[in-house]
Amino acid sequence: MKVLVLGATGGTGSLVVRQLINLCVNVKVVIRSASNKLNDLSNIKFLETIVGNISEFNLNKNIELISNCDAVVCCLGHNINIKGIFGKPRMLVSDSIKKICKAIERSKNGKVKLILMSTTANTNIKLNENYSSKDRFVLSLLKLLLPPHKDNVEAASYLSKVIGENNSKIEWIAVRPDTLINEENVSEYEIFESPKRSPVFDAGKTSRINVAYFMVKLLLNEEFWNEYKFKMPVIYNKHFQAI
C-alpha cells in the first residue's frame, strides 16, 4: 500500500505519516520547500516527498501525484492567525478534496480510499443530526463569518453529496474529532455515529495522536474500513466523553 498524506506537516498529518512509516507503509507527502517538519524522516525509504503547494497543482499534476497511491489522507487545515483564517486560499480543504477526487476519477488506479479529517462542528446531514437551536445558530454564524469553518463543511459535503456511495473509484470516510489536543501517546478513545455533546457549548477533547491512530487503523484493516466507509464517525478521548 502507498498512502498520499495531504497536510503532512500539520499537527495531525505528521502523526499519520509517522505511524504509517513505523508500520513500514509507503507514504507520499506534499510539502512546501520552506517546511522542515519532517526533516528527520528525509532518509527513510518508505517516504516520498513532493515539494510544492497542493492548492496550485493542476489536474495533470494531481493525476501524477496519486498515480501509484492506494489511499489519500487529508489533514489540511488553516493556520490559526489572521492570515490563515481570512487570507487565501480560503477554500484550501474543499478545493483540494475536489481536485484530488477528480484526479482519482481520471486516473488508471483501481478504487482509492480517501479519509478526510473533519470536525464535530460539521453536521452529517444524512443522519438528520439534531443539534440544539443554540448550536445551529452559532455554527451558521461561523459558516458565514469564518472561511475555515465554511471550508471544512463544504469538503465533507462534497464527499457526501457529490462523490456519494456509488462512485466506482472512491470510497471515503470523514473522521470528526472534537477539540484537538496534543498528547504523546495513544490513549483510550470512543467512536460514535454522531456527536454526544454540544460542539459549541460542551465540547469534548480528542488527541491528535488518537485521530492519527484511528485513521491508520481504518486504512490497514479492511473489516474496520468497511464498517465506517461512507460515514462520518465522531471520535472522543474516552476520559472526556460526557455521560
Per-residue pLDDT of the chain (243 residues; tens, 9 = 90+): 999 999 998 999 999 999 999 999 999 999 876 556 677 777 788 999 998 888 899 999 999 999 999 999 999 974 554 444 554 666 889 999 999 999 999 998 789 999 999 998 888 878 877 777 777 777 676 666 666 678 888 999 999 999 999 999 999 999 999 999 999 999 999 999 999 888 778 778 999 999 999 999 999 999 999 999 999 999 999 875 443
pLDDT score, position 133: 75
Q: Which residues pair with 62 in a beta bridge?
A: none
In degrees and rounded to multiples of 5, residue 44 shows phi and psi of: -80, 130
**What is the span of the domain harbouring residue 207?**
2-240
Q: Which residue has the cell 493525476?
A: 63
pLDDT score, position 190: 96
Closest CA to 12 of 97, 89, 75: 75
How many independent structural domains does the chain possess?
1
The x, y and z cell numbers of residue 87, run together, are: 487570507
pLDDT score, position 241: 46
* Strand ordering across the sheet containing 26-31: 47-51, 26-31, 2-6, 71-74, 112-117, 170-177, 234-237, 189-192
d(CA 17, CA 25): 9
d(CA 215, CA 183): 16
Whether the link from the prior residue into 89 is cis, omega within 30° of 0, is yes
pTM for the structure as a whole: 0.89
pLDDT score, position 82: 47
pLDDT score, position 204: 87
Closest CA to 63 of 92, 26, 10, 102: 102
Q: What is the pLDDT of residues 6-50, one digit of tens each?
A: 999 899 999 999 999 999 999 999 987 655 667 777 778 899 999
d(CA 122, CA 93): 14
d(CA 215, CA 155): 17
* Residue 125: CATH number of its domain: 3.40.50.720
Q: How many CB atoms lie within 10 A of CB 223?
A: 6
